[in-house]
Homo-oligomer: A and B are copies of this chain.
């Protein structure tokens, strides 16, 4: 059973190809993500990963790793604190902060942190798992 303080970490990076694919499937062709020239002259100095693509790592972790199969995603809040750049490694971490046993729900902190320990994305998620919570 899952308990408070349990966590899962994973190193992740997104390629420019991932960004193109996400732009296609989401329809978000904001040039900051896909137009090198446009992005170079922006405050970010280059193309950045869609926030929702970067945050999808939490969906992946919950749905396939921890707790894994059987997870139902109830909520996710996300603060996009700093840009996520392509081809850079980040650490995605989810950690149990609250258990609502009678509902089989748990709250997790969800963070994406860069190599200098700065949070690029932070937030909380609530999930349901009938067997593990």
Contacts and interface: CB of A to CB of B under 8 A. Distances in A.
Interface of A: 18, 21-22, 24-33, 50-53, 55-60, 63-64, 69, 71, 73-80, 123
Contacts of A79: 74-75
A126 B56 CA distance: 19
Taking the full assembly, how many copies of this chain does it contain?
Answer: 2
The binding surface of chain A is classed by DSSP as helix
5 contacts: A25-B53, A28-B56, A29-B63, A52-B58, A74-B80
A74 B80 CA distance: 5
Given A56-B52, A59-B52, A30 B75 contact: no
B64 A51 contact: no
B80 A77 contact: no
A126 B119 CA distance: 18
